[in-house]
Structure formats: C-alpha cells, structure tokens
Structure 1
Amino acid sequence: MNFGFLGIQFGWGLQMANMSPIYKYLGAADEQIAKLWLAAPLTGLLVQPIVGAMSDRTWGWLGRRRPYFLIGAILSTIALLLMPNAGSLAEWLIPHLPKFYMAAGLLWVLDASINISMEPFRAFVADKLPEEQRGTGFAMQSFFIGVGAVVAGLLPWMLRNWFGVSPAADGANALPLNVKISFYVGAAAFLTAVLWTVISTKEEPPADMEAFRRKKSETKGIGPLVREIGSALAEMPTTMRRLAVVQFFTWMGLFCMWLHFSNAVPVIFGSGDPSSDLFKRGAEWAGVCYATKDAVTFLAAFVLMAAARKLDRRWLHAVCLVLGAVGLLAVGFIHGEEQRFLLLGALALGGIAWASILSMPYAILSGALPPERMGVYMGIFNFFIVLPEILAALFFGGIVKHVLHGNLVWAVMAGGGFMLLAAAALAFVPAEPRAEPAQGAGVAG
C-alpha cells in the first residue's frame, strides 16, 4: 500500500538535494534562489486540496485514489527526465532568458505532478486502515519515504565515488554528468514504485454506491468543488486548527533548510563558487547529509510505530522537533571540510524530526476527521505546509541578503529556531482530539 511512496520520494529527494545547486550551476545568485523555489509551495496550495476533494468523489475501474497515483507518476517521470536538460531546453525555447528560469518552470511541473500522486496517498492509508492502525500506517509511509530519500540523496555522490562518473559539466552553465544520470534513475524508480502500488492494491467501493453516485452528480463542476473546500475550512475541527500552527512553524523551519543547506555546505567547506571542485564536493556532501537524514528517518519510523501505541503523540512529536532544531542550530558551529562528518550528525537529528513530521501530525489528525471528507481535509491540512513555504520563498531571499548579510549558514540555523516554536505550539493541541459534534465522535489521539 505504501510502496509507491518509495518512488515519490525519489522525486522529492532529488529536488531537495539538488535544485539549489542546479540553480547556481545555471547562473542564479543566492538571493534569487528562494523565489525560484516558489513553485513547490504554490503547486501544493493549488493542487493538494483540489485533488483531495476530487479523489473523495472519484470511483472507477482503478478505484478512488489510484487513478491519481498513476497520472501523477507519469507526469513526474517526464519532468524528471527533462530537468537535467533544462539548460539545453532554455537555449532552444527561451534563448534570451536566463537558463535557471527553465529549471524553475520544470520544477513547477514536477511539483504539481508529485502532488497529484502524493496527496491521495494520505487519504488512501486513512481509507484502508482502522484508527488503531493508522499510526503504524503513517509511520510505514515514513519508512518508505526514508528509503527512497536515502538513495536519491546519495545518487550523485555514489555515481562519482563508486562508479567513476565524472562531475564535469558539458559546457558553461551545464549540470554535472553525475547529477544528470541521478535524475534519469529517479524517473525510472518513481514510475516503477507507483505502478507497483497501483497494480498490487485494491480499494473498496463506497458502501452505498447509489448514494455516492447521486452525491457525485449533485456536486459536479468547479463551483461545488470550491464550495466544498470553503465549507470544510469553515467547519475545521479544533484539533486541526491547533495542529495548523504546529505545521506552519515546522515547515517554515524545513523550508529554510531546503532552500539553503545544499549551498551552505560548500560555504562551510570554503567555497561559494559553483565552478570550483570544492563547491561541487560540498554540494555532493550535502546530498550525503540528506541521505543520512533519511536513513535515520526510516530507522526512526520503526521506533515511532512502537512508541505511538504507548505514548502521547503530541509529546512524542514535540521531542522529535526539538531534536531536529538542535541539529539545524548545530550547523553554525561546524567549520571546514575536515569537519564534514559532524554535518552528518546534525542532519541525523533532523532525520528523527522528519520521521515524526511525516507521520505523527497525520496520525493525530485522522482520528478527528469525518471519513467522508478525509481527502479534502488532508488537502486543506497541507495549506499550513505551503503557506509558510510561500512566505519563505517571497521574503527570505531579501532577509538573507540584507539581514543575514548573505550568510547561508545563519539561514539554516533560522530553521532550527522555527522548529523550536513548532514544538512549543504542540502544548496547545488537545490531548484527545475529537471531531466536531456535527461530524461525529472522534477518538483518542
């Protein structure tokens, strides 16, 4: 059921570890990178609630959620194959514009496509599992996400150091060869893993198919879809409102890391010049750090599976967020390539937080949501992931330039501060989340 997440994470893992260096390889300045990442949150804001609501109303020969897995996987595969050739595509299609704009455009396509596949997966797990197994189900998602991300993050480094693939670029502003091949491998892995889930799992039809069809016919078109999202926002359960604050600060911290860590590591090594071999070694080591984070993620997922059955999920999640914050803050105290292994420890703490971020909020939330609106609410919940990312993308570039004086390491450390705020906000989430009375009784978190 969750195996498709292995492939989805190849898409996420490759872009998180490589997009910031790719922008620099294609000529972008540090202060421009935040806005070039704007594709990720905007596509999530638009796609996730719409796909979630649509999948609630879908039923066909492939089921309810699986059609979206398949469509998203096909489109993502195409985008992953095109991304390594962004510079050449730019010369052909928009020769008078900077090449990094083509990479940004492809990131829009890639992110939208990944979201089409990923969003219904959250609801898919909640559909198929009873409440007492959802903590395990979402933790198993974290496991497969971790496995996929480990391999995706390591790929450029592995290709250079294990298989002798040259990091040399073919021409000015071109991507290193090992990065290009990594995206091709990721495209194949994405499609294969999602196809496995589509083929090997089944979905149960609605209990009352006639009522389902009648409701579907009554809510056709964009208008009812928009009204459904608006209604769900207005009737949002209290638990979801409180968790929204936690998500906001959590993902503000994560986005600070994703925006700048891959370019901060070369600075720690001693070079900010993307044409230098030291910069390339630093960017590759950032991928190793991300892989370490994600290796810890899938190991921590097993611990979380067991702990979530016995411990208060709120405090379990808070402890994990604090550990992640410590890891990001520690980056500021690491200096030089000779201390590169300390960066692995810092991101390993981030892996503990990431395992919890991918599972505990959804496990807490799912018991407070009405089953018939699970898809739309899971999509809306992601509003509080993408809104902080949009704010970071719009304004953090200016903050880095004018407040942090271009210090990318401080930008990563700021992410640790936001994670501490997220951990503190968990104190206000109800211990036993319950659905609103009109939506039916909830269950213990």
Structure 2
Amino acid sequence: MPDSQFRTPGTRGREAIDTAEKFAGQVEVEEVFESTFEKPHILGARKEMASWSGQPHVKGSTETMRMALLTFSLVGLQFTWGIEMTYCTPYLLQLGLTKSKTSLVWIAGPLSGLIMQPIVGVIADRSTSKYGRRRPVMVIGSLLVAACLIVLGWTKEIVGHFIEEGDFRKTVTIFVAVLAIYAVDFAINAVQACCRSLIVDTLPIPKQQAGSSWGSRMAAMGHIIGYVAGTIDLVAVFGPSFGDTQFKKLTLIAAFGLIFAVSVTSWAVTERVLVSSKSTESKAGPLQMISHIFKTATNLPPRIQAICNVQVWSWIGWFPFLFYSTTWVGETYFRYDAPHDVKQSKDALGDIGRIGSMSLVVFSTVTCIGAFILPQLVKSPDEEGFTARPPAAIAGIVTKFNEYKPDLLTAWMWGHCMFSSVMMMAPFVHSFRAATFLVALCGLPWALATWAPNTYLGIEVNRLSSTAPSHRRLSSSRIEMTSPSTPFKLEHGLLDDPVSSTGELSGLYFGILNIYTTIPQFIGTFISMIVFSILEPGKSPELAHDAHPDEHHGTDGPNAIAVCLFIGALSTIGAAFATKRLKDLQ
C-alpha cells in the first residue's frame, strides 16, 4: 500500500502505538488506527488483496505443548533424513557402486531442493484447499516418501521377482535403488518446505523466533531418535520379520515415523484457508512463477543477499559432513580398529552403520543441548533495548551476564571457525574414537547453522513486510498477544496486507534461501567426485565383498572422505568472513 494512503497519527495515536508494541495484552490495533486511514483508499486497495477464512490455531493447554505440536512434524522429517544420510551411502557401496559414482547420486539432494522447495512453496501459497495451504502437501508428500522408502529397502527382492540372477539384475537393482533415492529426496523436500512454512504461517510475529528455535530442537530430537535406532541391532531384537537386514527395518520405521509425525502436526494445527489469491497472482502461470522466483533471487536486498552468501560458503563444508561422516567413522573403524572376523562380516553395511550412528547420536545430543541452551546465552537479534525485568535477588547477576552475551552473528561466526578447525583434523585421524569425538564437537556449530540463518531471514522478511514505521505494520491486522495459558491466535481484519505473519513473503524468501543452500551441494558433489576418483577409484573393500579383488581400491592411502571433509573445512573459513560482512551491514 503506498505511503500516500497513510495519515500521520496524532500524539494520542503514537502513545497507543507504543503501548501496543511494548505490552502483551489483547491489542485491537484496527480500533487504534480506524480514524487514521482514508476509507476510500482502503476499499480500493482491498480489491487487490487476498481473502482469507478462519484463524490459525494450535491445540494444547500450554505454550510449550503448542510449540511442540506445531513443530513435531520435523521430528519425523529429520528422522527420515538421518536414516538416508546414515545408511544410503554404504547401502549403494554394498550394491557395488563406486564412491565416485555414489557421489553423483547425491546430486538428488541439492537438485530436489533447488526445484521442489521454492516451487512447492509458491504453489502451496496459492492453494485454496479447505484443509489449508500446507497440511495437504505435507500429508500427501509423507505418503509418497513412505512408499519410496519401502521400495528402497526391498530393492533386491522387487527386482529379483522380475529378473533372473546375473549381472543385469545387479545393474537394474542399482538403477532402481538410485531412482528410489531420487524419489525420496524430491518428495521429502516438498514436505520440508511446507513444514517450515506452516510455522511461519501459524505464529504471530512476536512468536516467530521462538518457533524457529523449537523447529531446531525438534530436528535435533529427530536426528537423535534416528541415530539411536541405528545403533541397535534391530534384526537381533525383532527377528527377521518385516525385513531381515538392519536397513530394511530402519526404512520401515522411518516410513511410519514420518507419517505419524506429520499426522500429529496436521491434527494439532488449524490453518487459515485462502479463499482467493490476489488478482495478479491468479493470472500467473508456471513460467511467470518461475520467472518471479528467478528475478527475486537475482535481485535480493543487501542483507538477505549477505545471508545467502554465508549459506553458500557454509554448506560447501556441511554437505560432505552430513552425507559422509557416518561412513567415514565406520570406515575408520574397519581400517584401524576392527578385528579380522568383523572385517569378514556378511552384514558389513549394518556394522558400519551402527558404528557411524553411535558417533551421530553423540553429535545430535550435543546439537539438541545446544539448541536449548544457546538461545539463552546469545543476545536475541531483534532486541531493541526492552527486556523482561529479572527478580531483584538475581538482577545484578543477570544484568552483568547480559553485558557479556555475544550477539547471534558473533556466535554464528565463531561456530564456522569451530567447525573448520575440527574438520581440518579429519585426514589425520586413525581411530574411530577420535573420529567420533570430532563429529561430536561439530554439534554446537550445527545448532547455530540450523538456527541463525532462519532467524535472520525472518527478521529481514519482517522488515521488508513494512517499509513504513511500525504503526503501518501493526495496522494491517488485529494481533492477539496471548499469555502462555491461551492458544496462539492471529486475527486478520479487513486490512489484509502481506505481512510476514501471513506467510505471503516468507515462503518466497525461504525458498530462495534454500536455493542458495543447495547450490553449494552441487559444488560439494563435484569436489567429492574428483577426490573419490583420484584416491579411491575402485569399489570399497569394506563393503563390496562380492567384487573381484582387482576392482577394490587400497586402504593404505588417506581416506577420501576425510580429504573431502578437510576441503569443506577450508570453505567454512569463507563462511566466517561472509558472516563478518553481514554483521557490518547491520
């Protein structure tokens, strides 16, 4: 809405604005500004706005319960990602794929994120389903992920039912497994896009930062559950029923776990229903939508561009860690610590997965602890000098502590430095215990990596949502600032404007952030392919027992995955400098 449509409020109006911004009671902002707007302009502008029905609502009697239910879908989502990252690399190696070709398979992750998240986000933004914009996509996507996971776990049996034993069957088995991985990645990215957007859509602006923190906590819990499940010999515990290997049982658990988690969040959350989109949006076709995403991504505001630059440098380092660290720990065990009888195990995949999962259990535990504690130790990036007054008995201690609290950008910058220094030691590790220790240390920087960019992008989206002073943003809706004992509620009045709490801007910009997160994954995949081709060109001797010895690569030289981790660590130094430049723009 143009600035000319606003009149300058008087003294009493400004006092009302200050009261509305500082105190958490039920604030009827429309009533405060009803006399400050020119009615004909409002009615004219309203024709171009989207129309909505209903109010966002989350079940639960306490704020903690509501936050947990709203973000619970991320537990199942990250559990599934954890199973894929832990087991799919050794699974493909066991099928006979070389490491260089396996690295090409993982283009599926960045490719699906590059395509699915921004496009599905925009499509969901325009959905007029009576069940809401996000939940139908989440439910349908989780069912597709579950089906593809089961196909992945039983690939050999499915292919064997149609093709007789021989080399052709092995080739088809690898092809079907790779195809299933691609299908899982594309479907799960659609689910992930809507899980994150649902948080933004549902919570009022003052709750956005808390929602982002809870999302990180739930994601860490999902990783912990997945990695703990991976350390247990599920075949020995549950027998051969429903899968005679560790991988089959884990894919089955992941399939049902994702459906359950998404179902819980879908049951607990009530979305606003989009009745009709803006007139300009309703006429836009697929090409216009893609063109809009491209133009926005290539003409970002300076601070959002700086956030995206940090993501590029950071994820060149995090990509090999997330996809290969489990295999690296397991292979380190097989190289230097495993007795001879273990090296000849027929279920080397399960053994490597369990050893690697143990390291990631510790990693995810550290991440989860960090996700709960770090927000208390770091200054909130949207603090404006107004904080809750502590009890008198500890006021002095709290005040002194707050003086030395770093801001989030400083903590994020040191997190990059910590990850870089730890992973630079990877090529020199000759013990799986040392490898596990290094992986665990990366838990704290990962907590910051999953929290900081979402927080800062949310702040920037809020700034873009209102180019006028704060009274302009507040006037667009009636916001109920609830106490912890009342449900979240965001009432939109007649003056609907695309503020961040409606999700109309956040979906686009978070999709663009994901583009900048996936681009470095292509770079990381290319680097990994070159390193694997040079250092380990043959099949893995730890897994491909059925291959001829001449096809194996040696184990005397440096571990190729460790070299990839080292290169990624160098890139993360660039992320630290990019974070420093972002801080200079604040």
Shared fold, TM over 0.5:
yes
Partner of 1:217: 282
Amino acid at match of 1:214: S
Relative to structure 1, the CA distance from residue 363 to residue 37 in structure 2 (aligned partners, 3 Å threshold; closer, same or farther) is same
Spell out, residue by residue over 1:84-129, the C-alpha distance to the aligned partner (whole angstroms, 9 max, x if none).
1122334437736253222211111101111111112222222333
Q: Does 1:79 align with 2:161?
A: no
Relative to structure 1, the CA distance from residue 271 to residue 29 in structure 2 (aligned partners, 3 Å threshold; closer, same or farther) is farther
* Structure 1 consecutive aligned stretches of length 4 or more whose deviation exceeds 4 Å: 272-280, 403-406, 430-433
Q: Does 1:200 align with 2:268?
A: yes
Cα separation, 2, equivalents of 1:37 and 1:258: 11
Cα separation, 1, equivalents of 2:132 and 2:406: 35
Cα separation, 1, equivalents of 2:97 and 2:272: 49
Partner of 2:407: 312
Cα separation, 2, equivalents of 1:265 and 1:347: 9
SS of the residue corresponding to residue 226 of structure 2 reads helix
Aligned positions of 1:259-408 closer than 5 A? 259-271=323-335, 280-306=350-376, 307-309=378-380, 311-336=406-431, 340-369=432-461, 370=465, 371=500, 372-402=504-534, 407-408=560-561
Amino acid at match of 2:446: W
SS of the residue corresponding to residue 505 of structure 2 reads helix
Q: Name the stretch that deviates more: 156-165 or 238-247.
A: 156-165
Rg larger in 1 or in 2?
Answer: 2
Relative to structure 1, the CA distance from residue 197 to residue 432 in structure 2 (aligned partners, 3 Å threshold; closer, same or farther) is farther
Q: Does 1:28 align with 2:92?
A: no
The question of whether the paired residues in 2 share the 8 Å contact of 1:327 and 1:345 is answered with no
The question of whether the paired residues in 2 share the 8 Å contact of 1:325 and 1:350 is answered with no
Partner of 2:40: none
Q: Name the stretch that deviates more: 144-153 or 97-106.
A: 97-106
The question of whether the paired residues in 2 share the 8 Å contact of 1:139 and 1:358 is answered with no
Give unpaired runs (5+ residues) of structure 1: 167-174, 434-445
Spell out, residue by residue over 1:204-251, the C-alpha distance to the aligned partner (whole angstroms, 9 max, x if none).
346xx56x35344222x3122123212322442211211122111211
Match of 1:415 among 557, 563, 568: 568
**By how many angstroms is 1:65 displaced?**
1.7
Cα separation, 2, equivalents of 1:278 and 1:78: 26
Spell out, residue by residue over 1:256-310, the C-alpha distance to the aligned partner (whole angstroms, 9 max, x if none).
2234323322331234979666675333211111222112212111123322526
Cα separation, 2, equivalents of 1:346 and 1:161: 29
Partner of 1:426: 579
Partner of 2:544: none
Amino acid at match of 2:407: D
Cα separation, 1, equivalents of 2:349 and 2:186: 30
Match of 1:180 among 242, 248, 252: 248
**By how many angstroms is 1:323 displaced?**
2.4
Cα separation, 1, equivalents of 2:370 and 2:290: 38
Partner of 1:238: 302
**By how many angstroms is 1:351 displaced?**
1.5
The question of whether the paired residues in 1 share the 8 Å contact of 2:220 and 2:364 is answered with yes
TM-score by length of 1: 0.86
The question of whether the paired residues in 1 share the 8 Å contact of 2:143 and 2:259 is answered with yes
Identical amino acids, percent of aligned pairs? 21
Relative to structure 1, the CA distance from residue 430 to residue 152 in structure 2 (aligned partners, 3 Å threshold; closer, same or farther) is same
SS of the residue corresponding to residue 71 of structure 2 reads coil
Give unpaired runs (5+ residues) of structure 2: 1-69, 337-342, 381-404, 466-499, 537-556
Cα separation, 1, equivalents of 2:372 and 2:154: 38
Match of 1:9 among 78, 99, 110: 78
Relative to structure 1, the CA distance from residue 257 to residue 165 in structure 2 (aligned partners, 3 Å threshold; closer, same or farther) is farther
Cα separation, 1, equivalents of 2:457 and 2:524: 25
The question of whether the paired residues in 2 share the 8 Å contact of 1:135 and 1:305 is answered with no
Match of 1:142 among 197, 208, 216: 216
Amino acid at match of 2:223: A
Cα separation, 1, equivalents of 2:324 and 2:172: 21
Cα separation, 2, equivalents of 1:368 and 1:344: 37
Cα separation, 2, equivalents of 1:255 and 1:165: 35
Amino acid at match of 1:347: V
In terms of fraction of residues, the more helix-rich structure is 1
Cα separation, 1, equivalents of 2:123 and 2:251: 30
Amino acid at match of 2:255: A
The question of whether the paired residues in 2 share the 8 Å contact of 1:32 and 1:397 is answered with yes
Amino acid at match of 1:305: P
Amino acid at match of 1:217: S
The question of whether the paired residues in 1 share the 8 Å contact of 2:217 and 2:371 is answered with yes
The question of whether the paired residues in 2 share the 8 Å contact of 1:146 and 1:295 is answered with yes
The question of whether the paired residues in 1 share the 8 Å contact of 2:527 and 2:564 is answered with no
Cα separation, 1, equivalents of 2:303 and 2:197: 18
The question of whether the paired residues in 2 share the 8 Å contact of 1:49 and 1:379 is answered with yes
Cα separation, 2, equivalents of 1:141 and 1:427: 26
**By how many angstroms is 1:328 displaced?**
2.4
SS of the residue corresponding to residue 442 of structure 2 reads helix
Partner of 2:400: none
Q: Does 1:106 align with 2:180?
A: yes
Cα separation, 2, equivalents of 1:290 and 1:105: 26
The question of whether the paired residues in 2 share the 8 Å contact of 1:331 and 1:409 is answered with yes
When the two chains are superposed, the root-mean-square deviation of aligned CA atoms in Å is: 2.7
Cα separation, 1, equivalents of 2:105 and 2:152: 14
Relative to structure 1, the CA distance from residue 178 to residue 263 in structure 2 (aligned partners, 3 Å threshold; closer, same or farther) is same
Spell out, residue by residue over 1:339-366, the C-alpha distance to the aligned partner (whole angstroms, 9 max, x if none).
x333332122222122112121010011
The question of whether the paired residues in 2 share the 8 Å contact of 1:34 and 1:396 is answered with yes
Amino acid at match of 1:361: P
